[in-house]
Amino acid sequence: MAIAELWRRFGHPKPEHTRKLVHLGGGVACLFFPFLVSSPWVVLALALPLTLLFVAGSRFGFLKSLHGVTRRSRGAEYYPLSVFLVFLMTQGRPWLYLSAVLVLAVGDAFAALIGSRYGVVRYEVEDEKKSLEGSLVFLVIAFLAIHLPTLLLTDLPRPVCVLAALLVAALVTGFEAISLEGADNLFIPLAVAVILGKITTKPLSEVVFQNLSLLVMCLGIGLAVWRFRSFNVGGAITFILFAYGTWSLGSWIWTLPVLVGFAGYLAARWRFAPPEYGSGLKVRIIARALLPPFTMLLLANSLRRDETFFAPYLAASAAVLAFSLDNGVFRIERRRSWGLGALGIALLGTVLAVLGPWIATRHAPPETLVAILATAGVVTLINTAIERRYPELPRSRDWTAWRFLLSFVAAGALLGLQALGITPPWDPGWR
């Protein structure tokens, strides 16, 4: 930091260069923690004062070597915290710690510098512009940063090391592309630690299958988005990561509602959306909309209770799809001629959400299906009533707090009905 401050004061470099110098130098210094430090409290004692210093520097205008960039970023504040969390999560597995911190320190720094200097093919993520060249550099460096520690410090077979590194590098490149305001400094190392730690416990056949699955999803969803202009680049990456997450954390039955709902949304958009809808949905809207069903998936995966959380997952998915159709397509154009009210939209969204799992499993409890339909209808009616009561609320693609909350209400209603014994759980296991 001292060198970066002196360089900024006397050399007058670009603010991004001094920022990445601290980024890279601090990360390289942190690489030695697993070999020098045994207690996470020591790492916390180092990380916490630095975080407070960076927050104060941002607020009061000093440490210009870090905070001199024009874009809004909290990356410096997240950096020490992410190092501490990764150290805490990877104790006894130095290869995992090294992979996560190397990606954070080296991959992010060089991707930003090379992308800003040589990037030609640009794409937008919300209000930020990123380059394809920078993302490709990040992918290559992330692959090497993950592959080398895994190969040299573990006894894993070489094909597993290569393919696991390729899979994790591709996923965190997606995370880096859609991260806003420096959030990649927090999410990327944590994602490397969690995903790499899980995928390296799988046999080679499963690692190959996961790579092929991600490739197929990228190609299929990417072509559909390009054809229908439904999402922008950032929104498309967000949706691909969500779809792959349902496949990897759940199973193909968890992914069916996502793909069927996506196909239904594209068909409705192609038939009803006006020409000015061509810009597509962006990262924040997609992320806020998909967080409720993704939360149910995470709970099912972490608690190993698929049968408990599958119906709430479908209820949240049906609510999200109903809101998207109601406010994202049909209300804008030709809704009267089509003749669907809020309940009709809710019915359509529910059918799209449960059709695939119902056909695949063939043992869905009728009471649960009725409960999902009723819940989606109620929350859609509430959302419509709120919008009529408060006409100043955004009516199109902005995902309001009400829609976010009502999606969680739909999932919570199914959990409550199951807890009371009114509706039985829906086991998504294929039979």
* Amino acid letter, 143: F
In which residue are the tokens 């975080």 written? 51
**Rounded to whole angstroms, how far apart are CA atoms 311 and 313?**
5
pLDDT per residue as tens digits for the range 133-177: 888 989 999 999 999 999 999 999 999 999 999 999 999 999 888
pLDDT at 98: 94
Low-confidence ranges of the chain (pLDDT < 50): 332-339, 396, 431
Q: Is 238 exposed, middle or buried (0-12, 13-18, 19+ CB in 10 A)?
A: buried
pLDDT per residue as tens digits for the range 213-238: 999 999 999 898 888 777 778 888 89
**Rounded to whole angstroms, how far apart are CA atoms 292 and 301?**
15
Query: Token pair for residue 132?
Result: 């394809």
**Rounded to whole angstroms, how far apart are CA atoms 122 and 133?**
9
pLDDT at 112: 74
Where along the chain do its domains lie? 2-199, 241-419
Query: Token pair for residue 86?
Result: 């990764």
The pTM for the full model equals: 0.84
pLDDT at 427: 86
Reference 64, options 25, 111, 22; nearest CA is: 22
Handedness of CA 140, 145, 150, 151 (dihedral sign): positive
